[in-house]
Amino acid sequence: MTRAKLLAALSLALACLTPAAGQDTNKWRRDVDRLIGRWSDDVGSGRVRKARRQLNEHLDEVGQDPEALLDLARLRLAEKNLPLQDKGRAARLLADSYLKAREHADKAASLLVARDAKGQLRDKGGQRHHVALALGLLATQAHFQEQLRARRLAGSKPAELKQLIKLQAGEIGKRRARLAELAGDQLDDLLRAEVRRRAMLRELDRLGTAPPPLGLADLEGKPLRLDELKGQVVLLVFWSSELPGSLEVLREARKVEQALASEHLVVVGINLDKERAALEQTIAKEGWTWRQGHGQKGLASDVARAWRVRALPAGVAIDHGGRVRYVRPWEGGPGSLEAALRDLLARRAGSKG
């Protein structure tokens, strides 16, 4: 073979082994991040399903990838109860999904403590390994809860349920002890972070969208229009004076409002008491000065149905661009409401728009 032909053959071989110019080997990462990101706009519905498909295609192509497996575990763990008439079957399907989440997390954990082709540890600091273990623990707990629910719906005998509880408690205890041994003081922070992420993923289709109209007037008879509040950060809370949990959220909102002291933060309440007198009495007692709408018919009111409110308190935090960014931001643990609103205010301040 001549020198020219040898160089040509080598060039062809390298072309086959090297990504073509402009080819992006991390495209899967960006595609998935856009689908599951809090700050993605107008992505459409079915985002969890689409992201899972992207991840499975990536894994089919490259084989084992701990980062993709972690995301796949999170998406499986974010599955919600299916609206099936057969409640037992719905519970079994959900239990299966959580079991797969555990399998993905366990596989990622094992890969992250292995060495790559160069003999280097994949996760030198151990942080991602700890995250994988935390996901495995949460998935085990969720699988146990749904498995137990399915057994109860199927009419299992008390002795069988007791045996299942014993087995699962042992597995959960073992996993928690292992994580505590490795993560130490970070254990609770790891679990809280993944619980918050799970809550976010469960509401993914609402994030980055414009909220529906309220279709209500405030207590003074003036139309409540969210589109007129663009440029501000809005906390919208659906509540009832008859439910202590609602009042606790609004009291926390008041404390956060006072702590932030920002003219660009607006709180709006939508009360679902059937009697206006109860609403007015509560407002007077608490000293709230926010604009309030009144749904009158509880969860059966038009505004509750339009906003898919099925339990109280409910609500969202809306950014200065008029898009939903957090759903029930107070549910992420102590300080989560303030953290969410600070985040949105900081993004408003940093926006050129």
Residue 118 shares a structural domain with residue 222: no
Query: Do the Cβ atoms of 319 and 325 come closer than 8 Å?
Result: yes
On whether residue 75 sits in a domain, the answer given is yes
Q: What is the pTM of this model?
A: 0.81
Measured CA to CA, the distance from residue 67 to residue 32 in angstroms comes to 11
- pLDDT for 118 equals 59
**Band of pLDDT at residue 141, cut at 50, 70 and 90:** very high
Measured CA to CA, the distance from residue 25 to residue 65 in angstroms comes to 13
Total tally of structural domains belonging to the chain: 2
Residue 42 shares a structural domain with residue 105: yes
Most confident of 39-43, 78-82, 99-103: 99-103
Higher-pLDDT residue of 86, 12: 86
- pLDDT for 24 equals 56
**Band of pLDDT at residue 251, cut at 50, 70 and 90:** very high
Instruction: For residue range 156-169, list pLDDT tens digits in order.
Output: 999 999 999 999 99
Instruction: For residue range 167-213, list pLDDT tens digits in order.
Output: 999 999 999 999 999 998 999 999 989 998 999 999 999 999 999 99
What is the DSSP annotation of 290-349? SEEEE-SSGGGSHHHHHTT--SSSEEEEE-TTS-EEEESGGGGSTTHHHHHHHHHHHHHH
User: Is the confidence at residue 296, as pLDDT, over 60?
Assistant: yes
Higher-pLDDT residue of 285, 333: 285
Q: Looking at residues 104-128, what average pLDDT do you find? A: 76
Q: Looking at residues 293-318, what average pLDDT do you find? A: 93
Measured CA to CA, the distance from residue 61 to residue 353 in angstroms comes to 41
Residue 333 shares a structural domain with residue 228: yes
Domain-ending residue, one of 181, 205, 229: 205
- pLDDT for 5 equals 45
Residue 84 shares a structural domain with residue 161: yes
Residue 185 shares a structural domain with residue 227: no
On whether residue 97 sits in a domain, the answer given is yes
Residue 170 shares a structural domain with residue 232: no
Residue 140 shares a structural domain with residue 165: yes
On whether residue 9 sits in a domain, the answer given is no
Burial class (CB in 10 A: 0-12, 13-18, 19+), 26: exposed
Residue 194 shares a structural domain with residue 250: no
On whether residue 4 sits in a domain, the answer given is no
Residue 101 shares a structural domain with residue 150: yes
**Band of pLDDT at residue 297, cut at 50, 70 and 90:** confident
For the chain, what percent of residues have pLDDT higher than 90?
74
Residue 241 shares a structural domain with residue 321: yes
On whether residue 230 sits in a domain, the answer given is yes
Query: Do the Cβ atoms of 190 and 130 come closer than 8 Å?
Result: yes
Q: In Å, what is the CA distance from 2 to each residue of 5, 6, 16?
A: 5, 6, 21
Domain-ending residue, one of 205, 232, 257: 205
Domain-ending residue, one of 180, 205, 230: 205
Measured CA to CA, the distance from residue 103 to residue 259 in angstroms comes to 43
Residue 192 shares a structural domain with residue 214: no
Higher-pLDDT residue of 24, 58: 58
**Band of pLDDT at residue 268, cut at 50, 70 and 90:** very high
Q: CATH number of the domain at 247, please.
A: 3.40.30.10
| CA nearest to 316, candidates 256, 252, 246, 268 | 268
Q: In Å, what is the CA distance from 317 to each residue of 17, 22, 142, 207, 349?
A: 48, 39, 27, 10, 16
What is the chain's mean pLDDT, rounded? 88
**Band of pLDDT at residue 114, cut at 50, 70 and 90:** confident
Residue 87 shares a structural domain with residue 56: yes
Q: Which domain holds residue 309?
A: 210-350
On whether residue 66 sits in a domain, the answer given is yes
| CA nearest to 227, candidates 308, 343, 290, 320 | 320
